[in-house]
Structure 1
Amino acid sequence: MNRVFIAICLLTALAACNRTDAETEIGAAEDFCQRGEDALAEGDSEAAIEAFEDCLTTADLEPEEEAVIHTRLGGAYLYLNRYEEALQAFNLAYAIAETQGVQFDNPYVRRNRGIARRWVGQTDGALEDLEFAARQLPDDIMTQLNLGSLYGDLGRQAEAIAAFDTVTRIEPEWAGGWTNLSAALLEFGLNEEAIDNARRAVEIDPESGFALNALCWALIVDGQHEVALPLCDQAVAAEPDNGAIIHSRAAALEGVGRLDEARELYARAYELYPGSTVIEDDYLRTRVDPE
């Protein structure tokens, strides 16, 4: 039930495009390259994608420059959660490097490609890329977050805990690190430690529905439904349309014997988050079929 936080750390800027008055066509093409860089710097990924695509089709780029532009394009797609297009761009960058003999392997690009691979289901490749990035960038929060989530997906909970623990060391005042660590500890059966870490998240950000839900859920797993319920109420009030958070409140209600209310919330949670097997199982288990 963790939320994945994605941020893009871009490569060093592409070598400047030089223009002379006699090279107007080349200059126009090179303007697209710089326009893409400027759009990325301003956080406008849509504009960056358009500019970089124009750059690739019009500019006279050396192979190394072309590879870098593809990584820029991949980063812009990734920021918009367009994972398949991001992966295609990253793969093109590496294909150019391999076929043209370019020395090209950057840990930030490997991290970003690993994120894209994870979201398109290429687990082995994602693990290879993210572990490479982690060796080169041991204090990069995005690498550790995504690696921890991937380890969790693979059932490698001890490694997930280690990755999320690194996140809390890098950014101790960010509640998200503690919520991720809490969830990993729960999966490992360390309920007391999970509750402590979720409490830390709430202390850091007491208005966050996600931090409140982390503590709510940790208490539910530990069997403390009555203690959990007020926190679940607050979490739903903060995030009323989040299926995972609604599911937590339903579980707390069921735990204190209020099954009719829980049943309605399980159905609502399933409507909002049909991809969760945990939510689906609880919805199917508690629903009342018409006779």
Structure 2
Amino acid sequence: MTDDADDRSHAFSEGQGVDEDYEEFTLDPTDLGVDPDQVDPVDSRVLTDVLDKHNVSAEQVDVPELIDVGLSYMEINRFEEATAAFERAARFADEDSIEAQEAWVNKGVAHGQLEEFDQAIGAYEEALRIDEDSEHAATAETNLAYALWEFGRTEEALEHAERAVEIDPRFPQAWYNRGFFLSERGLTEDALNAFDNAIRLGMRNAEILEEKARALEELGREEEAQEAIEQAEEIRAEAEEELTEEF
């Protein structure tokens, strides 16, 4: 599933992120009226001081750059600061624009990382209110499905997982979530098909192979289940070896 902070990373939109030679977030002093050299890059007051205290107008704010600031906070696990950045990006973006939608989707991701699923749900719903068929809609639906599941609204979760697949049938994370929800409801054959679709579309990690193994076991296909488990173990072993080599 998409929003698990431990093993299953949550999909969010691509941004500049943090370069290897990162020193501070890129807040252009000409546009935002602040010298980034004088600001602690992980100080949560930065955005408030820049955008609220100095009352910057929407015309002076580079919304994509502000979204990148939020993504940079995500990269260093400063999720509370990220939610603030994304909310401000949404507020400063043109009303109901694709940029506003992207900001709301990412805000939902940040809340999900904080396990604030009620707020994540609200952010995803706002994103989908803007556009139910845009380039960000499948991600919003997929992540909304997970947040609803975590919030105990399981029936709605499957509905949104299905909707994500309808919007973008080539989105592997959507198929994975759909498979998980179907499996939880005992629809094992359909779940297995969903997992296979996700794998065919490039999602090949230990978690999905373990879910597939469980589905195969439920269907009595023990040899195939064991094969999937062995593949999952190989992937985990390779990941551990790579981590060891880094140190």
For residues 213 and 202 of structure 1, what CA distance do their matches in structure 2 show?
A: 10
CA displacement at 1:143 relative to structure 2 = 1.0
For residues 218 and 87 of structure 1, what CA distance do their matches in structure 2 show?
A: 42
Residue 240 to residue 97, structure 1, CA distance change in 2 (3 Å): closer
Match of 1:165 in 2: 125
Q: Which moved more, 1:215-224 or 1:195-204?
A: 215-224
CA displacement at 1:239 relative to structure 2 = 1.6
Alignment coverage as a number of residue pairs? 201
Give the structure with higher Rg (CA): 1
Alignment of 1:87-102 (within 5 A): 88-90=24-26, 93=29, 95-96=34-35
Match of 2:112 in 1: 152
Match of 1:48 in 2: none
CA displacement at 1:112 relative to structure 2 = 2.2
2:232 to 254, 266, 275: 266
Residue 218 to residue 87, structure 1, CA distance change in 2 (3 Å): farther
TM-score when normalising by structure 2 = 0.66
- Runs of 4+ displaced beyond 6 Å: none
Higher relative contact order by CA 8 Å / sep ≥ 6: 1 or 2?
A: 2
Structure 1 stretches lacking a partner, 5+ long: 9-77, 275-291
Alignment deviations for residues 22-66 of structure 1 (CA, whole Å, 9 cap, x no partner): xxxxxxxxxxxxxxxxxxxxxxxxxxxxxxxxxxxxxxxxxxxxx
For residues 167 and 87 of structure 1, what CA distance do their matches in structure 2 show?
A: 32
* Residue pair 2:148, 2:156 contacting (<8 A) in 1 also: yes
CA displacement at 1:92 relative to structure 2 = 7.1
Match of 1:237 in 2: 200
Match of 1:127 in 2: 83
Indicate yes or no: 2:154 matched with 1:191: yes
Q: Secondary structure at the match of 1:239?
A: coil
CA displacement at 1:206 relative to structure 2 = 2.8
CA displacement at 1:98 relative to structure 2 = 9.3
- Aligned-residue sequence identity (percent) comes to 29
Match of 2:70 in 1: 114
TM-score when normalising by structure 1 = 0.57
Looking at secondary structure, tell me which structure has more helix per residue: 1
Alpha-carbon RMSD across the aligned residues, in angstroms, is 3.2
Alignment deviations for residues 78-123 of structure 1 (CA, whole Å, 9 cap, x no partner): 1xx4356567242574641797xx9667262433212211211223
CA displacement at 1:146 relative to structure 2 = 1.2
Residue 219 to residue 168, structure 1, CA distance change in 2 (3 Å): same
Q: Secondary structure at the match of 1:82?
A: coil
For residues 18 and 206 of structure 2, what CA distance do their matches in structure 1 show?
A: 22
For residues 255 and 197 of structure 1, what CA distance do their matches in structure 2 show?
A: 25
CA displacement at 1:272 relative to structure 2 = 7.1
CA displacement at 1:145 relative to structure 2 = 1.4
